[in-house]
Structure 1
Amino acid sequence: MYLNTLIPSLGSKHYKKRLGRGIGSGLGKTSGRGHKGQKSRAGSKINKSFEGGQTPLHRRLPKFGFQSRKKKFYKEITLNNLNKIKSNIIDLNTLKQFKIVSKKIKYVKIINTGKIFIPVKLIKLRCTKNAKLFIEKLGGKIKE
């Protein structure tokens, strides 16, 4: 076997169609674009939603839904995350310092997932009912 005798296996190579290369190629003359019309011209671009001047579907349907802007600045953290913090007093700045939440976060809520092993004092952090019970059972405090 020599390098000059190597050939790709049948069907593995897919050559791109050469447009406008004579009548015998099957894609000569109009190059598969048909006769006249907007799509036959060079440089034509039609938006996917364009429906020939008819009001497009996305404008015919009613608007619905709501995207809260607060969502960008809100984060839920678990009780497991509180174990990573070496301090007994936890507030938003402490969470940012230990990189549990990013710098842009303004609102945090603690949810009851996992376990916490040390009593902590939470300052200005929201909790779910079960998380609150769990923290207080350990001897921690929650200050709003």
Structure 2
Amino acid sequence: MKLHQLRPAKGAIKSRKRVGRGQGSGRGGTSTRGHNGAQSRSGYSQKLGFEGGQMPLQRRVPKFGFKNPGRVAYKPINLDTLQELATKKNTTVIDVELLAANGLAGKDDLIKVLNRGELTMAIEVVAHKFSASAKESIEKAGGKVTTL
């Protein structure tokens, strides 16, 4: 066998359907498009989500809910996370930059400190917001709270 003798397997190649070439071909007349209507015309394209005139799903399903454009979202950070970070990094000051550098928050995130866990050392925490109980726990452990 040589390169010029290679052929596709029998039945692997199918000739294309030639439509609109006279009645004798069996595909003349309407050219396999059925009878009148938009789909028989050239240039027809269905709208996205069109269901043949039936009320589309997107319009059948009711809208609900409300997205408040003025909502301020805070990234929650708990005391146990701060304690872990302080011992791992051997630091007493924890601020937004340190949290961002360690992947606990984004550099543009607003941070709120919450009271899950315990503090065993005095640390200074700089954040945008504190829960009352978290503030109390930090100060009870001998730390300092600074609000940005």
| TM-score (normalised: structure 2) | 0.54
Aligned to 1:84: 85
Aligned to 2:47: 46
Whether 1:122 and 2:119 are equivalent positions in the alignment is no
| Structure 1 counterpart of 2:108, from 104, 112, 117 | 104
Task: For 1:81 and 1:90, locate their aligned partners in 2 and report how far apart those are by CA, in whole Å.
Answer: 11
For structure 2, the 5+ residue unaligned runs are 1-25, 27-31
Closer, same or farther: CA 49–92 of 1 in aligned 2, 3 Å:
farther
Note the C-alpha offset of 1:126. 1.3
Secondary structure of 1:102's aligned partner = coil
Secondary structure of 1:113's aligned partner = coil
Q: Percent identity?
A: 26
Closer, same or farther: CA 100–35 of 1 in aligned 2, 3 Å:
same
Secondary structure of 2:106's aligned partner = coil
Task: For 1:69 and 1:39, locate their aligned partners in 2 and report how far apart those are by CA, in whole Å.
Answer: 47
Aligned to 1:138: 141
Structure of larger gyration radius: 2
User: What residue identity is the alignment partner of 2:67?
Assistant: F
**How many residues are treated as equivalent by the alignment?**
113
Could you report, residue by residue, the CA deviation over 1:19-65 in whole angstroms, capped at 9, with x for unpaired residues?
xxxx9xxxxx45xxx6433355565121327896x9x849xx78862
Closer, same or farther: CA 119–101 of 1 in aligned 2, 3 Å:
same
| TM-score (normalised: structure 1) | 0.55
Closer, same or farther: CA 45–131 of 1 in aligned 2, 3 Å:
same
Task: For 2:123 and 2:67, locate their aligned partners in 1 and report how far apart those are by CA, in whole Å.
Answer: 36
Whether 1:37 and 2:40 are equivalent positions in the alignment is no
Closer, same or farther: CA 38–121 of 1 in aligned 2, 3 Å:
same
User: What residue identity is the alignment partner of 2:105?
Assistant: V
Task: For 2:126 and 2:106, locate their aligned partners in 1 and report how far apart those are by CA, in whole Å.
Answer: 18
Q: Is contact 1:91–1:125 with CA below 8 Å preserved after alignment?
A: no
